[in-house]
Amino acid sequence: DQQVKQNSPSLSVQEGRISILNCDYTNSMFDYFLWYKKYPAEGPTFLISISSIKDKNEDGRFTVFLNKSAKHLSLHIVPSQPGDSAVYFCAAIGSGNTGKLIFGQGTTLQVKP
């Protein structure tokens, strides 16, 4: 039972354009959502997060949007750069700060020069 789903295994965009990565979840009790980025041969690194009481969080070129009624969040990267090419994981954390992250399957982003 996949509580966090990333239905697009891969995405390819042109440098300078917007990249939109999507994530759906089923558990309405999640308190926080996070995005991690992973390069080959490295561990995932934290990118950006959003509280369930917010609908948008922005950090430089990265913006995460949360639609609680649709149980959907998205990560926007604009403008996209070749160095953004990586696997992006959406993750959720339940109430009570249990530390237990639940990850989606990941989406591989390729930004073409």
Partner 1 sequence: DADVTQTPRNRITKTGKRIMLECSQTKGHDRMYWYRQDPGLGLRLIYYSFDVKDINKGEISDGYSVSRQAQAKFSLSLESAIPNQTALYFCATSDPTGFTDTQYFGPGTRLTVL
Q: Cα angle vertex 4, ends 82, 14, to 5°?
A: 20
Ranges within 30-89 binding partner 1 (CB under 8 A) = 31-32, 34, 36, 41-46, 49, 51, 89
Does residue 15 bind partner 1 (CB under 8 A)? Answer: no
Beta-strand relationship, 10-14 and 107-112: parallel
Collapsing DSSP states into helix, strand and coil, what is residue 83?
A: helix
Given the complex with partner 1, which of 41 and 70 has the nearer CB atom?
A: 41
Q: Which two tokens stand for residue 55?
A: 């609908």
Amino acid letter, residue 10:
S
Q: Which of 13, 106, 109, 111 binds partner 1 (CB under 8 A)?
A: 106
Enumerate the H helices of the chain as residue ranges.
none
Residue showing tokens 């996070």: 34
Q: Which of 8, 61, 76, 103 binds partner 1 (CB under 8 A)?
A: 103
Does residue 97 bind partner 1 (CB under 8 A)? Answer: yes
Residues within the interface to partner 1 (CB under 8 A): 4, 6, 9, 31-32, 34, 36, 41-46, 49, 51, 89, 93, 97, 99-106
